[in-house]
Chains A and B, each alone.
Chain A
Amino acid sequence: MRDAATGGSPADRLSVAAGAVALVLAVWASLWIAESRNSATGETRPPDVTLPGDLDGFRPDLFYLPDDSLLGFVAIPEGPFIMGSDPGVDRLAFDLEWWGEGRVQGTVELPRFHMARFETTVAQYGAFVREANHPLPNPGSLSAPADHPVTSVAWTDAVAYARWLDGALRENPATPPALRLLLDEGWRVALPSEAEWEKAARGDDARIYPWGDQPPGNRANYRASSTSRVGSFSCPDCAHGLSDMAGNVWEWTRSPYQPYPFDESDDLETAGTDALWVMRGGSFADNEQFVRAANRGGADPGARRAFIGFRVALVR
């Protein structure tokens, strides 16, 4: 190199300089291209999420959760409830709802827990994506109006949301005192178990639908073409005053799919099997058979579909 730099003719030195400039330009161009690639694929930038400044009935300062003392969580008292379906009473029941052990239904004792009144909304999930920089593999998840249920989210996304919300509520000084007290007592935000979901949906009296045994009529968003605003179907008779426990979107639970009888303590026995997680409630695209409170759906934990969403619970 020393000869090239000092021993050659002026033309040679010029050539070396030109070569060096070309190489520097090549390096610069490559760096620029690599940077544009990262920007284009969104690998390094957080997802671009637009959230409403105000949303009627919800608190923008608290991640668009419902505006009440428990931010939409409704207490479900402790006690037993009847799980599964009796085909003698419910002619639409599927085989997989049978309890087994020679019985069509079983009684499950649950401690007190709190269930979200509404399905998790687009605004709530958008706040999570923005705050936690959570990946958004399917931008369609947030394309519906802010007060519609979020859809196209995987089971893993739902679990991540619940974990994030738990931490966010603990850290946020605006969290209402009643809810903060619960959190301080050891309650945590999580997906409901399959049993918690069913008890919250059908109450203690083994009703077929959240409102009773009558077909849905205009009480639920089913046999439709799209989601509806959460809580838009008036249902004064619904158990515990929860909305959309029938239809609108399927809701992920924290229970792995396995045959009844239900026993949360045996979840670990599903290790070694192909992952399949329970979702409940049916969706806008289903008929009355699928939106029954005891109906069980199962899906791959990575499935992101336009008819699958979730709601959260407070458990301990």
Chain B
Amino acid sequence: MQPTDSTGHPSRFLGWLPTLFAAVLFALSYTPRVQSGEVLTGSFWAAAAFLVGWNALAAIVGRNRGDLVESTLRPHHYIQALCQLAVFAYWGWYWRPVYDMGVLIAGQLAFAYGFSMLLAWWRGGTYRLGFGPFPIIFSINLFLWFRDDWFYLQFLMLAVGFLGKELIRWNRDGRRMHVFNPSAFALGLFSLILIATDSTGLTWGQEIASTLTLAPRIYLFLFLVGLVVMYFFSITLIAASAAAVLFGLSAIYSAWAGVPYFVDSEIPAAVFLGLHLLVTDPSTSPRTPLGKTFFGTLYGLGVFGLYAILGAAGAPTFYDKLLCVPLLNLSVRGIDSLVRGLDTKGVVIPGIGGEAALVRRAAWWSPLRLNLAHMGAWILFFGIMASTGRTDGRHAGDSLPFWEVACEEGRRNACDRLLQLEATYCSDASAWACNELGAHYAEGAIVNGDPAVSRALFGRACELRFQEACLNLIDDTRIVRGEPRPLDLRLLLREGGRNLMGIPESELLTKACDHTWAFACQRAASAG
């Protein structure tokens, strides 16, 4: 262990680096964004105070070992971080809350540096100063933020991620290393807690998952960013096999059931992001081609299965991409052993492995060439998916009338999806959706009848001035339905959160007609 600072010289001053990061946090707490909420400001102060307190305690007990700092600049840190930053920049251009998060992410970075430094010193280790915290913080923030009133839990989540990285370790290939991808571990654990306590509302999770598609051609963008990561870190097989499994299963389900598996896409954009930038940490994934393929395949299967399980349990389905990663991390050594076993037996799966067999039989396939070949196959595959409208572009499941028809036709899960969509739009204050949902509960045809629930829904719709709902509320011997009002359409057609409040009504009707709302087509035609 070399006791040096980043310039190679020992320095006791570095022992107070965490306090310097606390000062940064404190300074950031006076920015307008952090000052916008008392709890948010308090969260920053509490995080800063925690770092200062721990640093002081470490000094008292002689563990603020600032002399144990090494500088390390690892490509898999800064290249990954740059790719994540590109996603933030592009996404944020179309959904401004992302840019508003900038200061909060900076605060998290300061906390992460201070916390991980103190944790390393407290355990008698060397802190490696580099860009390590960047991909962890960026990765967490690409998937989950706590709302301002609960932001202290964001700092807690970071702490859990770093604790998991530092404390939960195993021997792998003769090296002592962390078991879990730190960001995925924190995200997975907190997702579980949020689901168990029905507290998803404390986070921006749902908005994050649904607003990626506000950025045009987001799949193409993620694909291009993913190519960079694939080139440098050879994770092509992980991402590609996960995507192939998801595209494949989604297509099979669609062909069988007649409705899309994921409501409004073949692969949700956030899952597409996850399979490029969340699950692909080289340190916590297999290293052999066959192992990577298994790993990616398992991720695809995991997301596919979890989506169904979460949906059936009534939990938000956007957690599907987060929950399975820690379990996959735990399976890495098992996958390594399995692959080694196959390799020893000389099993070769055309195109992907086993590695030793491939090396023996085609020596000119260097890892770089092999990865480029995999990338070529992935580019071809994505090109086919994109050109057949399975990535960016309109999707049948975007339209609520599609689900109404599918439900009437008795398509598998279509009525459940219809109810879910109506519930979502109702909670977004679409009076029409509340009335429709209330009608379903009153009729008891596609869901168990529940007069109390239907009245509550009619009441909500009525207070939103949907007259049909008021008529239903006052006389429950008949059901009155109506067409969505312009305000409803502005909510129903926003496809992931786009603000349609300002667009002219004629444009709104045209858009509604594109989404197969028959009444809108008639009105647009008569107006035009």
CA distance A300 to B464 in the complex (A): 9
Contact A30 B197 (CB under 8 A): yes
CA distance A191 to B473 in the complex (A): 12
Cross-interface CB contact of B123 among A15, A271, A276, cutoff 8 Å: A15
Contacts A23-B160, A272-B482, A302-B463 known; A33 to B471 CB distance under 8 Å?
A: no
Contact B470 A277 (CB under 8 A): yes
The yes or no answer to A12 lying at the interface (CB within 8 A) is yes
The yes or no answer to A84 lying at the interface (CB within 8 A) is no
Contact B463 A12 (CB under 8 A): no
Interface string of B445-484 (1 = CB under 8 A from A): 0000000000100010011111111110110000010110
The yes or no answer to A29 lying at the interface (CB within 8 A) is yes
Contact B463 A301 (CB under 8 A): yes
Which residues of chain B have C-beta atoms less than 8 A from A172's C-beta? Answer: none
Q: In whole Å, how far is B348's beta carbon from the nearest beta carbon of chain A? A: 30
The yes or no answer to A274 lying at the interface (CB within 8 A) is yes
Contact A275 B153 (CB under 8 A): no
Contact A37 B170 (CB under 8 A): no
Contact A1 B467 (CB under 8 A): no
The yes or no answer to B202 lying at the interface (CB within 8 A) is yes
Which residues of chain B have C-beta atoms less than 8 A from A159's C-beta? Answer: 459, 473-474
Contact A160 B179 (CB under 8 A): no
Which residues of chain A have C-beta atoms less than 8 A from B159's C-beta? Answer: 22, 26
CA distance A154 to B153 in the complex (A): 37
Contact A31 B330 (CB under 8 A): no
The yes or no answer to B171 lying at the interface (CB within 8 A) is yes
Contacts A26-B156, A37-B202 known; A272 to B164 CB distance under 8 Å?
A: no
Contacts A26-B156, A160-B455, A268-B471 known; A275 to B462 CB distance under 8 Å?
A: yes
Cross-interface CB contact of A274 among B455, B467, B480, B483, cutoff 8 Å: B467
CA distance A271 to B153 in the complex (A): 47
The yes or no answer to B377 lying at the interface (CB within 8 A) is no
The yes or no answer to A131 lying at the interface (CB within 8 A) is no
Which residues of chain A have C-beta atoms less than 8 A from B202's C-beta? Answer: 34, 37
CA distance A3 to B153 in the complex (A): 31
Q: Is the interface of A mostly helix, strand, loop or mixed?
A: helix
Contact A256 B467 (CB under 8 A): yes
Contacts A156-B462, A156-B463, A301-B465 known; A268 to B168 CB distance under 8 Å?
A: no
Contact A300 B468 (CB under 8 A): no
Which residues of chain A have C-beta atoms less than 8 A from B179's C-beta? Answer: 1, 4
Question: Which positions 51-97 of chain A face chain B at CB distance < 8 Å?
Answer: none
Contacts A30-B193, A34-B199 known; A7 to B171 CB distance under 8 Å?
A: yes
Q: In whole Å, how far is B284's beta carbon from the nearest beta carbon of chain A? A: 13
Q: Which A residue's beta carbon lies closest to that of B180?
A: A1
The yes or no answer to A19 lying at the interface (CB within 8 A) is yes
Contact B462 A302 (CB under 8 A): yes
Contact A30 B463 (CB under 8 A): no
Cross-interface CB contact of B170 among A4, A35, A300, cutoff 8 Å: A4
Which residues of chain A have C-beta atoms less than 8 A from B521's C-beta? Answer: none
The yes or no answer to A27 lying at the interface (CB within 8 A) is yes
Q: In whole Å, how far is A256's beta carbon from the nearest beta carbon of chain B? A: 7
Question: Which positions 466-516 of chain B face chain A at CB distance < 8 Å?
Answer: 466-471, 473-474, 480, 482-483
Contacts A301-B462, A301-B463, A302-B465 known; A2 to B167 CB distance under 8 Å?
A: no
Contacts A19-B168, A37-B199, A156-B463 known; A272 to B468 CB distance under 8 Å?
A: yes
The yes or no answer to B131 lying at the interface (CB within 8 A) is no
The yes or no answer to B163 lying at the interface (CB within 8 A) is yes
Interface string of A19-44 (1 = CB under 8 A from B): 10011001101110111010000000
Contact B466 A275 (CB under 8 A): yes
Interface string of A230-256 (1 = CB under 8 A from B): 000000000000000000000000101
The yes or no answer to B318 lying at the interface (CB within 8 A) is no
Cross-interface CB contact of B471 among A7, A23, A270, cutoff 8 Å: A270
The yes or no answer to A16 lying at the interface (CB within 8 A) is yes
Which residues of chain A have C-beta atoms less than 8 A from B469's C-beta? Answer: 275
Q: Which B residue's beta carbon lies closest to that of A274?
A: B465
Contact B167 A15 (CB under 8 A): yes
A-B pairs under 8 A by CB, number: 117
Q: In whole Å, how far is A9's beta carbon from the nearest beta carbon of chain B? A: 10
CA distance A267 to B469 in the complex (A): 13
The yes or no answer to A155 lying at the interface (CB within 8 A) is yes
Q: How big is chain A's contact interface, by range?
A: 35 or more
Contact A154 B160 (CB under 8 A): no
Which residues of chain B have C-beta atoms less than 8 A from A34's C-beta? Answer: 197-199, 202
Contacts A155-B470, A156-B473 known; A16 to B167 CB distance under 8 Å?
A: yes
CA distance A305 to B284 in the complex (A): 60
Q: Is the interface of B mostly helix, strand, loop or mixed?
A: helix
The yes or no answer to B524 lying at the interface (CB within 8 A) is no
Which residues of chain A have C-beta atoms less than 8 A from B194's C-beta? Answer: 30
The yes or no answer to B441 lying at the interface (CB within 8 A) is no
The yes or no answer to B189 lying at the interface (CB within 8 A) is yes
Q: In whole Å, how far is A171's beta carbon from the nearest beta carbon of chain B? A: 16
Contacts A34-B202, A156-B462 known; A275 to B193 CB distance under 8 Å?
A: no
Q: Which A residue's beta carbon lies closest to that of B460?
A: A156
Contact B163 A256 (CB under 8 A): no
CA distance A270 to B468 in the complex (A): 8
Q: Which A residue's beta carbon lies closest to that of B485?
A: A274
The yes or no answer to A178 lying at the interface (CB within 8 A) is no
Q: In whole Å, how far is A265's beta carbon from the nearest beta carbon of chain B? A: 12
Contact B471 A3 (CB under 8 A): no
Contact B169 A12 (CB under 8 A): yes
Contact B153 A30 (CB under 8 A): yes
Contact B168 A300 (CB under 8 A): no
Contact A19 B163 (CB under 8 A): yes
The yes or no answer to A273 lying at the interface (CB within 8 A) is yes
Contact A254 B474 (CB under 8 A): yes
Contact B193 A31 (CB under 8 A): yes
CA distance A154 to B473 in the complex (A): 13
Which residues of chain B have C-beta atoms less than 8 A from A256's C-beta? Answer: 467, 470-471
CA distance A156 to B465 in the complex (A): 11
Contact B467 A271 (CB under 8 A): yes
The yes or no answer to A18 lying at the interface (CB within 8 A) is yes
Question: Which positions 142-165 of chain B face chain A at CB distance < 8 Å?
Answer: 150, 153, 156, 159-160, 163-164
Question: Which positions 174-209 of chain B face chain A at CB distance < 8 Å?
Answer: 176, 179, 189-190, 193-194, 196-199, 202
Contacts A23-B160, A270-B471, A271-B482 known; A1 to B330 CB distance under 8 Å?
A: yes
Which residues of chain A have C-beta atoms less than 8 A from B170's C-beta? Answer: 1-4, 7
CA distance A22 to B168 in the complex (A): 12
Contact B164 A19 (CB under 8 A): yes
Q: In whole Å, how far is A186's beta carbon from the nearest beta carbon of chain B? A: 14
Cross-interface CB contact of B463 among A8, A154, A254, cutoff 8 Å: A154
Which residues of chain B have C-beta atoms less than 8 A from A160's C-beta? Answer: 455, 459
Contacts A275-B470, A277-B470 known; A302 to B164 CB distance under 8 Å?
A: no
Contact A271 B471 (CB under 8 A): yes
Contacts A19-B163, A159-B473, A160-B455 known; A275 to B168 CB distance under 8 Å?
A: no
Could you list 16 A-B pairs, sorted by A, with CB under 8 Å?
A: A1-B168, A1-B170, A3-B170, A8-B169, A15-B123, A16-B168, A16-B169, A26-B159, A31-B196, A37-B202, A156-B473, A159-B459, A272-B483, A275-B467, A275-B470, A301-B465
**What would 4 more interface pairs be, CB under 8 Å, given A2-B170, A155-B462, A256-B471?**
A1-B170, A15-B166, A19-B167, A272-B483
- Residues of A bordering B, CB below 8 Å: 1-4, 7-8, 12, 15-16, 18-19, 22-23, 26-27, 29-31, 33-35, 37, 154-156, 159-160, 163, 191, 254, 256, 267-268, 270-277, 300-302
